[in-house]
Every structure is written in structure tokens, then in C-alpha cells.
Amino acid sequence: MPSPELKKNAVGRTVPVEINGREAVPFQGVAKYRPEGTKVAPSISTCIDYPDCGDKTVPDIKTALKEAGVRDGMTISTHHHLRNGDFVANAVFEAAAELGVKDLMWFPSASFPCHAPVIEHMKNGVVHHIEGSMNGPLGAFCSAGGMRGMGVLRSHGGRYQAVQDGEVHIDIAVIAAPTADPFGNAHGLTGDAACGLLGFALADSQYADRVIVVTDNLIEFPCVPWQIQGNHVDFVTTMDAIGDASKIVSGTTQITKSPDRLRIAEMTARFVREAGIMENGFSFQAGAGGTALSFAIYLMEMMREDGVKARFVRGGSTQYLTAMLEEGLTDYILDGQTFDLDGVRSMRENPNHVNTSPFTSYNYHGKGNFASMLDCVVLGATEVDVSFNANVVTHSDGKLLHGIGGWQNCLFSKCTILPIPAFRDRIPVLVDEVTTLCGPGELIDVIVTERGIAINPRRDDLLSAVSGSDLPVRPIEEIKAEVETIVGGAPAKPRFGERVVAAIKWVDGTVIDCVRQLEAAK
């Protein structure tokens, strides 16, 4: 395969201008690229083709795929609501293999280690390549050059944008539904595989040619609330189990015991308080990682102490966010996904625990989105460089290991904070230049490490807001230099080959960076 033509983009990264046969635009800078034209639309359907009784059930996934007209080279999408407990994506490719279909493009909203069997399907030709997050074993396979096509990583909002703008045409969407009716209405609130909500499948239900709902809890019409509307759905089918409940949501969310992470979390919460962000009517988003979760707990204590209430918080929700809602520390949870059983319960019972989608929260090619309205957001990163650029998809050894998730979309909040250790084991997290640039430094405001807080020099306002506090604010270069004396110097760079194995899209569909194949270790 000849290497595609490359061009340097606005952040100095050399990126392909053609991806899997389609033209690609190099990143032009934040808020620079203006899309033109119209959104795509699915073809017109007619009730002539659907049973008046509303029963769209077919016996199994294989039949559904066949009736949906599955062919070589099609794009099939699935979603990650069932996280590492998902059985559906593997079942889809198993069925496709039995039907003898080849060269499919898999378009998941995210992948997990449970999807490692797809590697076999890539080796035997059923799957051509993946456009979606590549985690764990799939990432390693891609980095080693095992995939025939180029991987494309998009944020949750970028995925919606790509579908809406016609960059990706979904031939068949398969939606795993914890509860559904024969018409195709579906939700994630009940059933053995209850996961809360199904927002990541919204674009697919609206834009795919054919939509298949797979459930293990088929109930009589109507299935309410219809998070997925049956009017978009072609077929409904069942499996004995669509997922392993214990890996979908956790019974209880564990908070970290690591003293260093707790210290980072506490410093982050103190920063939010001291910088004046934590005031009545504010909003924040923090994930369910150990540090982010502890941050939320510390912040909650501080809100109680100061008598401060939030207007809304954004999930991924956990028992701690629902406790905030129930205690009246926030008016609303605007939730993107639920991480534990308590989150699912709250979403089912509490009208102020609202489900959202990448369309409402993240899509950059819309008339605004929720992410930019947040007063602060707390995110992770694998690396941050001295210009505050950050990486979330590769490790310093160059291996692709994580997806982007909502990370890029969240950078648009009024204050983006990355609480991260200054080094992990021996590997510095603060570096001179990130291995893969996923988020430009101009959108990243604060880095909180166990060794001090670095504030982006562009944010004079934040610097002066905390100047009177006893928070350990330090230049990022100084913390980085300190780390290098501890770990024995700056890390050597990974040895990459020429071939581009994956492209990293920005929220507007332009290419911000790419990942090259790793040279085999000596």
C-alpha cells in the first residue's frame, strides 16, 4: 500500500490528506474550519414496507443482518453502552462471518478489551478496519500494523459530526438494548443489562440505512421512555443475554486509596474553590476514574462547607453524583452514561437526572452544545507537554491504547483541568512534546500534579485568582525538570515507521494528528 500524501497542519503535525480513500482536511486551528453544504439524510422509508401490527421481530442477529442486506465492504456500527460486558458486537461479526461477508468496516462508539475477538475477524478478512476507539488489545494490534485500513479515532461529538456530515455512512447499525419492544422502541433503564441510557446510538438510529435493535428483555409495546425511537428501527431481535451485567455497571463505585491520587484530587477541588469557580449556580463535569471521582467527593464537601449549590453537573454518573442530586447540592445531572447501579436507579426514578446524547452535549457542527457551557471539567491524559498540548490515545511508548471519548469535546469548557500524576512508575507524564497531539494547549488551562499545579500562561485570570492562596502553583517546565531528575532523565522517543496506522480527528472532522506503526522492538 503506497503511503498517502502528507501535510503539516496548524499544530505542526504531519498528517495524511486522504484516509481510506476519502479526502481529509488537516487541522486548521481551534474554531478555524467552517463546514459548508448540507447534512446528509437517509433515504425515505414507507410504512408499506413495515408491518401494521408493529412487530419487527426476526429470529436472530444472522437473519436480521441478512434481511438488512449485509454485503462485503459495508459499514456496521455498534455502541459501548454495555462497556466491557458487551456481547453484541462480537455476536454481530460472528454472524457476519457465518454469512461469508468480507471487508466490513466496524464503526463502534468505543471498543473495550472484551472486543479482542474482532482481531481474529480482521485476520480472517471479515473486518477490514475499525473507525472508533481502539482500546487495549485492539490498539496494540493496530499499532503493530495489523489492520488493513487506516484506523480513525474520533471523539463522541466527532462521531456524531462525522455521521451527520456524511463523512461516515453507516449501512447497518446494531443497537444493543437492555429493554425494547417489537416496534423497536428501546431504553437502558431496566433489564439484566440495564446501563442507564443509549445516547451514543442516537446518530446511528437517525442516519443509518438499516437499524437493528438487539435485546434480552423484549417487552410488550410500548417500551417507555423511548430513548431510541422505534420509528427509526428496521428489525428487532433477541439474544439470551446481550451482556455481562457485572462488567456493564459496577455494584458500587470504588474510590481510590492511592495517597498520591487523593492528594491530586483534593488539590484539584481546592483549586476549583480558590479560583472562584465553585459558586452558586456553577456547573462541572468529572469522569468516573479514581482521581476524578475523588475530586467530586472533595468538591462536594467543600460545597457543603461553603453552602454552594450547582445548577447542573454532567455525568458519567455514579452514586456520588446521585448523592449530590438527592442532597440538593445540584439541581440537575445531565448524564452521558451511568457507571454504577445507583446511577441507573437515579436515572430511572429522578426526572432531574436527565439523559443526554453526543448531539446535545458534544456535536461541534450544531447550533451550540452543552460542553462549552460548563464552568469546569476534570479530565485525564497520558501525556501533557510544556505547551499544555495533551495526549489521550497513545502511551509514551507509542502504542495506541485508549479512545478519545468525550475528552476533546470537553476541552471547550470555561476551565479545563487535568489532574494527573507527574510520572507513572518511571514514565514522565509531563514531556517536552506529546507523542500524539489530541488536544491543543490553548484549550487546556490547568494541570494538577502531586508536585504542584501548573496554570497555562494564557490564563492570567486563573493565575491571579489563586495568587493569594497557598496552592503550590509552579511553572510546568519546573515540575517537568523535577520529574526528570527523579526518573533519570527525559524518556527516549519510541521508534516509529513511516506507515500511518491511525488518524486522530479533531471535533470538526479535520485531522489533528496521526499514529504511525511501531517498529518491532529489537
Partner 1 sequence: MNPIGHAGRRGDRVRSDCWISVEPRSSGGVSLTLKSRVAAMYGASIRQAVERGLAALGVAHAAVEVEDTGALPFVLAARLEAAVKRARPEIEDEFLPEAMPWTKYGTTRDRFRRSRLYLPGDQAKLMINAGLHGPDGVILDLEDSVAPAEKDAARFVVRNALLSVDFHGAERMVRINQTPAGLDDLPFVVPHNPHVILIPKCESPEHVTAVDERTKEILSERGIDTPVFLMPIVESALGCLRAYEIATASPNVVALTIGLEDYTADIGTQRTNEGRESFWARSQVVNAARAAGVQPIDTVFSDVTDMKGLMDSVLEAKGLGFDGKGCIHPRQIEVIHRGFTPAEAEIEKAKRIVFAFDEAEKRGLGVVSLGSKMIDPPVVKRALRTVELAEASGVLSKSWREGGGGNA
Tell me how far, at minimum, the Cβ of 314 lies from partner 1, in Å.
Answer: 28
353 binds partner 1 (CB under 8 A): no
Residue 82 DSSP code = T
Element (H, E) at 371: none
Interacting positions 472-501 with partner 1 (CB under 8 A) = 485-489, 491-492, 494-495
Q: How far is CA 199 from the centre of its chain?
A: 12
Decide whether 61 or 265 has the Cβ nearer to partner 1: 265
263 binds partner 1 (CB under 8 A): yes
Radius of gyration of the chain (CA): 23
Tell me how far, at minimum, the Cβ of 423 lies from partner 1, in Å.
Answer: 9
Interacting positions 447-466 with partner 1 (CB under 8 A) = 450-451
22 binds partner 1 (CB under 8 A): no
- Among residues 428, 522, 415, the alpha carbon closest in space to that of 484 is found at 428
- Among residues 167, 154, 209, the alpha carbon closest in space to that of 20 is found at 167
Return the residue of 100, 259, 307, 468 that touches partner 1, per CB under 8 A: 259
Contacts of 371 (CB under 8 A, 6+ apart): 157, 285, 361, 362, 377, 406, 409, 410, 412, 413
Interacting positions 362-381 with partner 1 (CB under 8 A) = none
Decide whether 314 or 451 has the Cβ nearer to partner 1: 451
Contacts of 2 (CB under 8 A, 6+ apart): none
Give the largest Cα separation in the chain, rounded.
72
521 binds partner 1 (CB under 8 A): yes
351 binds partner 1 (CB under 8 A): no
- Pairing type for strands 383-385 and 390-391 reads antiparallel
Q: Are 64 and 42 in contact (CB under 8 A)?
A: no
Decide whether 36 or 425 has the Cβ nearer to partner 1: 425
305 binds partner 1 (CB under 8 A): no
Tell me how far, at minimum, the Cβ of 474 lies from partner 1, in Å.
Answer: 13
Rounded Cα distance between 221 and 219, Å, is: 6
Rounded Cα distance between 51 and 57, Å, is: 10
516 binds partner 1 (CB under 8 A): no
- Among residues 79, 56, 54, the alpha carbon closest in space to that of 188 is found at 79
Decide whether 326 or 482 has the Cβ nearer to partner 1: 482
Rounded Cα distance between 491 and 317, Å, is: 36
Return the residue of 191, 287, 398, 439 that touches partner 1, per CB under 8 A: 398
Print the binding letters for residues 100-129 with partner 1: x by CB under 8 A, - otherwise.
------------------------------
Q: Amino acid identity of 63?
A: T
Decide whether 5 or 425 has the Cβ nearer to partner 1: 425
Return the residue of 23, 49, 425, 498 that touches partner 1, per CB under 8 A: 425
- The single residue listed with the C-alpha cell 527525559 is 490
Tell me how far, at minimum, the Cβ of 488 lies from partner 1, in Å.
Answer: 4
Binding site for partner 1 (CB under 8 A): 259-260, 262-263, 396-398, 424-427, 450-451, 485-489, 491-492, 494-495, 521
